[in-house]
């Protein structure tokens, strides 16, 4: 059997952590022949709860689970890590301005970036889930100059999966019939789910829909505000679906995307599609051999252009704000 891969999960005692850890332990992140060693990072007050989750993981008797360490120190958490899932973040609370939120998260993602830089394995892959995910990823990346910049990614796969599901429902077809969905921009209400480049059973999804009103007034806002809809219904924010998306993101990054399809990932821009270089923005990507590439040459119509520009504009503002705060 293969040597275990070290997987670090921050915010392990939180609700996404609870849904995520069992799926990692069962082999759904890296494959059924790949043992994993879990490293759980929590704040001191939540270490005991993380230990409780670890007891339950033990009770899963997962054949692929080679060990669990629980720590409250970032340096220890990322020492030798191969896959880092940065889930723990500071949520926005009542009366909190954006600057306060960015600053509080800077206090988390700066030291975590430094710890990744100091000790992570050479092949480390990083997924930031904790919001504001794109900008938190940018902060961590800025403090890890020795790690290739493209290893820092942010999660927009939940938005991608939500868009697939909503489009499939509209067309009365299984999600498996839909390919080439794209989320552009920020993981926020400005994100742009693009069906103009999507396909249903090999044909144009936009032509199959042929309903601009639905696109603008139902589909896009529904996908972009789905998080609020879940909170309203469930009384708590998305957890299992977010964990599912994190599994999908890393699984596809490591194992590759299917031929004839792509996925959405928040990745550092290389200037493609007019997105300023260095911003961590969502793009259509294909993954091969453990690396991803931004899909090139897609047609961007005027409607898409203005939506992408608006979301990228927001990312630029967030970057400028964290720059002003000295966080990058
Ligand atoms: P919870 O509040 O249930 O859990 C967060 C956990 O992080 C807590 O246990 C807390 O103690 C821990 N934590 C806080 N600071 C930490 C630090 N410095 N080091 C280690 N752990 C720390 O939140 P949960 O529902 O699990 O959501 C986690 C994050 O995911 C939030 O920021 C949330 O906004 C974000 N989401 C991102 C999504 C995406 O698509 N990118 C979707 C789902 C989710 O909303």
Cβ of 127 below 6 Å from ligand 1: no
What integer pLDDT is reported at residue 98 of this predicted model?
85
Asked if residue 126 has pLDDT above 80, the reply is yes
Tell how far the Cα of 279 is from the centroid of ligand 1, in angstroms: 22
Q: How far out from the chain centre does Cα 196 lie? A: 23
Q: What is the pLDDT of residue 91?
A: 87
User: In the chain, pLDDT over 70 holds for what percent of residues?
Assistant: 100
The protein residue with its alpha carbon nearest to ligand 1, atom 30, reads 130
CB distance 46 to 15 below 8 Å: no
Asked if 62 contacts 91 with a C-beta cutoff of 8 angstroms, the reply is no
- At how many degrees (to 10) do helices 133-142 and 98-119 cross? 50
Mean pLDDT rounded to a whole number for the chain: 97
The whole model's pTM is what? 0.98
pLDDT band at 93 (very low <50, low <70, confident <90, very high): confident
In tens, the pLDDT along 236-267 reads 999 999 999 999 999 999 999 999 999 999 99
Instruction: Give the mean model confidence (pLDDT) for residues 113-132.
Output: 98
Q: Which residues contact 249 (CB under 8 A, 6 or more apart)?
A: 127, 153, 155, 157, 263, 265
The token pair at 75 is: 């340096």
Q: What band does 232 get if pLDDT is binned at 50, 70 and 90?
A: very high
> Taking Cα atoms as reference points, which of 268, 313, 249, 259 lies closest to residue 288?
259
Q: How far apart are CA 110 and CA 180, in angstroms?
A: 34
Binding residue per annotation — 162?
A: yes
Say whether 286 sits in a helix, a strand or coil: strand
The residue to mutate among 8, 9, 15, 16, having the most atoms of ligand 1 within 8 angstroms of its beta carbon, is 16
Average confidence (pLDDT) over 266-281 = 98
At 94 the pLDDT is: 86
Give the pLDDT confidence score for residue 1 in this predicted structure: 72
When pLDDT is cut at 50, 70 and 90, the band that residue 57 belongs to is very high
Confidence of residue 95 (pLDDT cuts 50, 70, 90): confident
Residue 154: is its pLDDT beyond 80?
yes
């Amino acid at each position: 059997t293969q040597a275990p891969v070290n997987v670090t999960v921050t915010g392990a005692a939180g609700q996404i952590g609870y849904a995520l850890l069992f799926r990692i332990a069962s082999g759904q992140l890296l494959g059924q022949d790949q043992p994993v060693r879990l490293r759980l990072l929590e704040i001191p007050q939540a270490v005991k709860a993380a230990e409780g989750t670890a007891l339950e993981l033990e009770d899963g008797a997962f054949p692929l689970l080679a060990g669990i360490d629980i720590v409250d120190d970032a340096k220890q958490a990322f020492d030798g890590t191969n896959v880092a899932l940065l889930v723990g973040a500071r949520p926005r609370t009542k009366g909190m301005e954006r600057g306060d939120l960015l600053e509080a998260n800077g206090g988390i993602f700066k030291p975590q970036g430094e710890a990744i830089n100091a000790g992570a394995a050479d092949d480390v892959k990083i997924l930031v889930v904790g919001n504001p995910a794109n900008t938190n990823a940018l902060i961590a990346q800025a403090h890890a100059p020795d790690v290739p910049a493209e290893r820092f990614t942010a999660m927009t796969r939940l938005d991608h999966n939500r868009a697939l599901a909503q489009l499939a429902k509209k067309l009365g077809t299984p999600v498996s019939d839909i390919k080439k969905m794209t989320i552009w921009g920020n993981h926020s209400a400005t994100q742009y789910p693009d069906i103009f480049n999507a396909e249903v059973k090999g044909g144009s999804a936009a032509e199959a829909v042929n309903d601009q009103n639905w696109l603008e007034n139902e589909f896009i806002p529904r996908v972009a505000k789905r998080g609020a809809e879940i909170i309203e219904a469930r009384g708590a924010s998305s957890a299992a679906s977010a964990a599912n998306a994190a599994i999908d993101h890393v699984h596809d990054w490591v194992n590759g995307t299917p031929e004839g399809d792509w996925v959405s990932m928040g990745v550092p821009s290389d200037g493609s599609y007019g997105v300023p270089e260095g911003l961590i923005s969502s793009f259509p990507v294909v993954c091969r051999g453990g690396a991803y590439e931004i899909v090139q040459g897609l047609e961007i119509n005027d409607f898409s252009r203005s939506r992408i520009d608006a979301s990228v504009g927001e990312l630029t503002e967030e970057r400028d704000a964290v720059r002003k705060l000295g966080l990058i």
